[in-house]
Amino acid sequence: MGFREYLTTAPLRFLSADLRRERPGTAVTIYLRGSSFGPDTLSLVAQISRSLSDWDIYLVVRSPKIFEKTSRRIVPCLEERGASVTVVEEHSRAFVRGLVDSSFVFFTTRYDLWNYRLCNRTPSRTFIRIHHGIITKAYGNLRTKQLERQRRSRSNELSYPSRLMSLSAVGVDAQSIESEVERHFRVTAEGKKPSLFRTFGYPRYDRIRALRSGTATPIVPERSREELENDGASYRFLYAPTHKDGAYETTLFPFDGFDVDRFRDFLAERDAVLYVRMHPLEDDDGIYDEYIDGELIRYAGTTFAQSPIEILPYFDALVTDYSSIYVDFLPFDGPIVFLTDDHEAFLETRGLAFDYDRYFPGEKIDDSEAFFVHLERCLAGEERYEDRRAFVRDTFLPERDDTFLEAVFDEFHSDR
């Protein structure tokens, strides 16, 4: 489909079909960022299959080839759980039919489906943005370079967005958040009105609670499940660093003189295993090749598990640098270790949204010896950050009585 047809024909086809229909049906459209399942979209499909088993789910992908490569294998697992899933290519006729039939449309970025949101004329169709889960890295108005520009400006007001940026933000009925603390962070970072942000929570945290309690089983390939259950380890570490926005490449074990052979001996003597999971943008970059041996240090990328939260119940401790995955791990209350991978460069490139010492509850490691010493504490159960983890967990993930879907339906579907 050409650019002109993309901008006009498909959205107008949607508008025409929508005007002929009295109201949407019992269907949900979920836009897959990057044409792949993410933690929230996969969790949302699983939640719908349990709570709304008679509803149809349309998964919108921009690239069917990417979906086939990364996520198709997950669909049978979802269908076994009762999900009625149809994968449609964005702007296709099947996509338009699914969108017209949908009472709810869930998406991630402000640009997703923006021209269809502009054309929507059905008040009973609800568009909800689910942005990533809780983010503790800076973005938007809080990024380091943005803060520097603001300091240099003589104005004390933020600039209004361009007309195109404003158009891309319309047609959103709500953006989901987990807590009031997150509301203030999002409002500041995105420069949007506070009333847009609603504390519906995130599907990923409902899913984590279900996995933690044992009321749900992980959605992972059978071979991955077998590997995790039969690796012979009595203690498992997950090492999941974040992407550095292309400013510099992630360094695993970012210490001068790190001895990987000594580390393997350390793990073997303690019946421990470390699994590495790179950010999806660095999944194929070969950063981990020199460390993975398939026994003591293993790889758990997106082919191992499409969503990282599905494997979190298998791990006793998390190692990361600045990844927000540590928030996902907080409900499991295991030790969290933070490795400082060129700390000053990361602060200059991206920045952190919250105080590093107070809201990143774990040991900060910047040399090899301290790394070994602290892992030993974790293995011995002598890690001393339980109270700090509880504070951060209560701040970012307050207890809830309802799920994401229940909150959304109570707000937008109770009188339909």
Q: Mind giving me the DSSP string for 322-365?
A: S-THHHHHGGGT--EEEE-SSHHHHHHHT-BSS-HHHHS-SEEE
Q: What is the pLDDT of residues 31-73, one digit of tens each?
A: 999 999 999 999 999 999 999 989 999 999 999 999 999 999 9
Enter the tokens of residue 173: 């009925």
Q: What is the pLDDT of residues 94-118, one digit of tens each?
A: 999 999 999 999 999 888 998 899 8
In whole angstroms, give the CA distance from residue 127 to residue 41.
14
Partners of residue 107 on adjacent β-strands? 129
According to DSSP, the β-strands at 363-365 and 84-89 are unpaired
pLDDT at 17: 81
Among residues 93, 100, 118, the alpha carbon closest in space to that of 10 is found at 93
In whole angstroms, give the CA distance from residue 96 to residue 58.
10
List, edge to edge, every strand of the sheet that includes 104-107: 84-89, 56-61, 27-31, 104-107, 126-129, 174-176, 197-198
At 315, which helix (H) or strand (E)? none
Residue 8 reports pLDDT greater than 70 = no
Residue 25 reports pLDDT greater than 90 = no
Instruction: Give me the residue label for tokens 């459209």.
Output: 29
Burial 301-314 (b: 16+ CB within 10 A, else e): bbebbbbbbbbbeb
pLDDT at 415: 60
pLDDT at 209: 97
pTM of the model: 0.92
On the 0-12 / 13-18 / 19+ scale of CB atoms within 10 A, 156 is exposed
In whole angstroms, give the CA distance from residue 368 to residue 382.
19
Q: How confident is the model at residue 23 (pLDDT cuts 50, 70, 90)?
A: confident
Residue 292 reports pLDDT greater than 70 = yes
Q: List, in order of start, the domains of the chain with CATH numbers.
A: 3-201+400-412 (3.40.50.11820), 218-396 (3.40.50.12580)
Burial 160-194 (b: 16+ CB within 10 A, else e): eeeeeeebbbebbbbbbbbbeebbebbbebbebee
Q: How many CA atoms lie within 13 A of 42 on its CB side?
A: 26
Bigger pLDDT: 335 vs 131? 335
> 316 and 342 in contact (C-beta within 8 Å)?
no
How many C-beta atoms lie closer than 10 Å to residue 234's C-beta? 10
Residues in the chain: 416
- Round to the nearest angstrom and report the end-to-end CA distance of the chain: 36
Query: Which positions ≥6 away from 282 have C-beta within 8 Å?
Result: 243, 249, 250
Residue 5 reports pLDDT greater than 60 = no
> 403 and 51 in contact (C-beta within 8 Å)?
yes
Average pLDDT over residues 321-349: 93
pLDDT at 278: 92
Q: What is the pLDDT of residues 222-279, one digit of tens each?
A: 999 999 999 999 999 999 998 877 777 888 999 988 999 999 999 999 999 999 999 8
DSSP symbol at 241: P
pLDDT at 293: 95
Q: What percent of the chain has pLDDT over 70?
A: 94
pLDDT at 249: 81
